[in-house]
Amino acid sequence: MSYITAALLIIIVLWLVPVLFMRGANLEIFDLDDGSDAVRSFADKDGPSEEHVEIAEMIGSFGSQARRLPKKKQLNFMRSFMENMFEGRVYASKFKPADASGVAAEWVLAPGADPSKRVLYLHGGAFMAGSSRSHRNITNWFSEINGAAVLAIDYRLMPENPRKDGIADCRTAYRWILENGPDGISPVTQLVISGDSAGGNLALSLVAWARDEGLRAADAVIAFSPTLDGTYSSPSIRNNVSSDLMLGPLFSVLLKIPAAIRAWTYLIQFRFNQANPLVSPLFGDLSNLPPTLIQVSEAEMLLDDARRYVRKARASGTHAVAQTWPHMLHVWQIFYPEMPEARQAFQEIKAFLHGLESRNGPAAF
């Protein structure tokens, strides 16, 4: 066999393996509107608020600064920006350091919070940035609106740690919060799992793992703009590149890379097949999961992943709903209370959680 023939065979194999084994199931059926209330849009004929426009300009300026930096400095710049975005803000909640079986964390306790009602919050940041501190503007309000103790964990980040370590930390924290509150060992009476972006991915993966492990199920899971599909196959991944102010600049480059190369890169970088449900919850078994609420912007690339998830979940018998807002930034809820659209989003979360406690249970939402 000649070197040229051998090289061609290697290329063919490298192309066929992703096509046959790494792309996951075809989920296009869940792009169809079935006429149900699975997806609810909060359209505003007046367009985005002035507050949103101002914040979007600030985020756009940050992104431009980051992209001008050398690659080696971009991650530290992003981490610093996230940690200091709300520097100096005063919160009603108290923040209490915690050790969740070796996972660094903090309890977020609004005045009057019930220590037996708990939220496990998993922050976003592309699995490489963010912390319990950077997301206090979400966890503080979560504690207030639900009267619950919020445990925000600092799972291990990439690239210093492999992706599987962050997943392991979330699982450890899940087991721990079932039996431990802010005042010590005590049972949980209500448990909500939540996260944004990368944290939303971890949250939805986590509740499926808890089901498979036979652990006490969460009473609900709430995800803000979660990443759900490592194959990047839904229509909005390409259709919303230009309208997604935060993710668009990154993905516009990524999507120019051939799919087979992206698949191998994902495997090498994360040590997971891109369609593995551990990292792409959309491809997993979505039956017998907690009532699920996903909020996502209609302008972002992750829109159709959220729609696909809730439609597949409902087809599997799980109560799930997606709430969408036009024009919004990725994870705009973090800008509560300044942004009117963030206030509306948290009102919907409050209504969703109230529905869980009503006599009608999950069906109330």
DSSP of 219-277: SEEEEES----TT--SHHHHHTTTT-TTTHHHHHHHTTS-HHHHHHHHHHHHSS-TT-T
- 256-283 b/e (C-beta count within 10 Å ≥ 16 → b): eeebbebbbebbeebebbbbbbbbbbbb
Q: Is 319 noted as a catalytic residue in this protein?
A: no
Residue 299: other Cβ atoms inside 10 A? 24
User: Are residues 195 and 268 in contact, defined by beta-carbon separation less than 8 angstroms?
Assistant: no
Tokens of 23: 């792309």
**Contact criterion met (CB below 8 Å) for 341 and 52:** yes
Q: Which of 300, 327, 341, 348 is catalytic?
A: 300
* H-state helical runs in the chain: 3-17, 50-68, 71-84, 136-146, 163-179, 198-213, 235-239, 248-254, 259-270, 303-315, 340-357
115 DSSP 8-state letter: E
113 three-state secondary structure: coil
CA distances (Å), origin 247, targets 195, 256, 325: 17, 15, 17
Catalytic residue among 106, 330, 341, 348: 330
Q: Is the separation of the CB atoms in 14 and 267 below 8 Å?
A: no
Active site includes 330?
yes
Is 300 assigned a catalytic role?
yes
If 0-12 CB within 10 Å is exposed, 13-18 middle and 19+ buried, where does residue 192 land?
buried
Residue in the block written with tokens 């009473």 = 219
* Whether residue 111 has a cis bond before it, omega within 30° of 0: no
Residue of 197, 205, 225, 297 marked active site: 197
Question: Any idea which residues carry the catalytic annotation?
Answer: 197, 300, 330
